Structures are given as C-alpha cells and as structure tokens.
Amino acid sequence: MKQILYLALIVSIISCKENNSQEKKSVEKAKNSQQIDNPKNGKNVALNFIKRLKNGENVSSLFGDTWTFIYHEDNRCTGSTDGKVTYNGHIKLDNKVRIKVKNDSEHAWACEKKEAYYYEMIFDLKEKIKTWERIELDDDSDTDTTEKEAKTFYILGRGASDYIRIHINENNLISTFKYSSEDPG
C-alpha cells in the first residue's frame, strides 16, 4: 500500500512539474511576442548598434538574415552616387562590402556635368565613421508617426552631412541600412 501511495505521489509531482513547465513556456512566448510588437524595442537595437560602433565592435549580429544596403552620396562636383543591394546573412557589414552604384552629375553645381555611369564600389563602414565627431541617435527618431517609421532610426555622424538610417524588422533585427553623405555646400 505504501508503494502505491509513493508511486501516486511521484506521478502527481511529475505531472505538476510538466504543467508548470508548459505554463512557463506559454508565459515566456507571450512576453517575447509583446517585445517583438513593441516598437520601443527597436530603439534598444539602435542604441546597441551605436554602442558597438563607438567601441569598434562588430554589428553584424544585429542584422537579419536578409538585409538591404542603400548608399547615397551627394557631392557638389560629381553629383549624386546611389546604390541599393539586398544581401543574405553571409555578407557582413563588419567587413568591406561591394555595391554597384550609379553616379549622375545632373545635380552637380560646382563642376562640369558628365555622362551618368555605373561602377562597383567598396564600402567600409569602419573607415567611413573614422571622421565622425559623434555617433548618436537623432532625437527625432522617437517621433512615432507611423508603425514603419516607429522602427526607423537615424544615427548622426559627421556634422549634419553624414548619417546612417536603420530600419528594425518585426524580429528586432536590422533589415535596412542606409549610409548617406550630403554635401553641405
């Protein structure tokens, strides 16, 4: 009789542990779902990105498996240089990346205009930010006008001319990285 009671007690304990474990998993899943839906968590990703840039650390782990790189440069002499490419996870922004860009001097105002042309450039984020006197989140990044804009953040760099725009996806990973350099002249 004692053995049956002990056996019943053990089964009861195991059953309670399994139910408790399933409850914990449900609560954890609900918390994770709330975090993903909360656009303020995107700001944490942006702040982590800034911290890593300042410390010279790698940022690739903050990017999704697929991400889009947009490059824009506006120069008074050469005009605008623009490119856009989508990479999969094996391309890391911590390394130099290649991007095909188009240079169009249509908006150049200080030099003679030239025919538009394409070329492949190598982008090195660590090299680009060496001349930045600051790396900080733009205060206007907190203005939530639409759901998409709520997860888009601007990181200010060299003066008002060089900045980075990142967009955080539903998994709280960077899905779009834009580097812009505007000629202040």
Dihedral angle at the C-alpha atoms of 116, 119, 125, 128, nearest 10 degrees? -50
Which H or E run contains 29? helix 2-37
Tell me the C-alpha distance between 116 and 114, whole Å: 6
Higher pLDDT, 56 or 109: 56
pLDDT (tens digit per residue) in 106-132: 878 888 888 999 999 999 999 999 989
Q: Please tell me the total number of residues recorded for the chain in this structure.
A: 185
64-85: average pLDDT: 94
pLDDT at 6: 61
Burial of 26 (0-12, 13-18, 19+ CB in 10 A): exposed
84-98: average pLDDT: 89
pTM of whole model > 0.75?
no
pLDDT at 26: 46
